[in-house]
């Protein structure tokens, strides 16, 4: 069974390999430092039977962006600077790719983001995609590209909440934890 938990010193960061050097290096060298400094929080997916081995990870940080990065319909309703949460990184170890773990991590992130919105406010989840392939992945999940930067994507808090609820219900089935 997969569990998502905060990154700690007991997790084997060096054993993680998603096939993208920039994502591997960030986890190996930066994630704990940023977490210790309060710059971001990293969450890791681990298997119950091997809790030190990282199957995937994502990082969240608070963000304030200029509303010009929002889709047109949102810009006219909001002030110039808008609060949200940034999904800074999301990666899945090569051994676990194409098995639904990326979506499970995103659902977990959405759940945490909803708790942040409930306590502090925020209008949406922002993602800086590494490339067009990653941006397309997020677009398929309902994210919208910024008008001035196709690799900056946005998902509104309302959509995040409804998607998170629906996906949590889907992943609650016993099949969700079955390796595939």
Q: Which tokens in the block code for residue 2? A: 């997969």
Q: Is 96 a catalytic residue?
A: no
Catalytic residue among 57, 96, 117, 138: 138
Nearest CA to 28 among 54, 2, 62? Answer: 54
Q: Where do we find the tokens 């942040």? A: 116
Other CB atoms within 10 Å distance of the CB of residue 103: 16
Alpha-carbon distance 163 to 140, whole Å?
A: 13
Cα 7 to chain centroid distance, Å, stands at 14
The strand pairing partners of 3, in sequence order, are 46
Q: Which residues are catalytic?
A: 138
């Amino acid at each position: 069974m997969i569990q998502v938990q905060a990154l700690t010193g007991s997790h084997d960061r060096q054993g993680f390999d998603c096939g993208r050097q920039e994502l591997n290096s960030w986890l190996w060298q930066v994630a704990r430092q940023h977490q210790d400094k309060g710059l971001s929080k990293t969450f890791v997916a681990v298997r119950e039977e091997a809790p030190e081995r990282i199957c995937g990870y994502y990082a969240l940080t608070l963000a304030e962006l200029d509303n010009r990065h929002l889709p047109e319909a949102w810009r006219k309703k909001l002030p110039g600077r808008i609060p949200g949460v940034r999904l800074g990184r999301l990666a899945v170890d090569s051994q676990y790719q194409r098995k639904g773990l990326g979506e499970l991590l995103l659902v977990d992130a959405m759940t945490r983001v909803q708790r942040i919105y409930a306590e502090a406010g925020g209008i949406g989840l922002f993602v800086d995609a590494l490339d067009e392939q990653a941006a397309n992945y997020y677009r398929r999940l309902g994210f919208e590209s910024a008008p001035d930067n196709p690799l900056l994507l946005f998902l509104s808090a309302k959509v995040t909440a409804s998607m998170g609820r629906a996906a949590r219900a889907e992943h609650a089935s016993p099949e969700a934890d079955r390796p595939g």
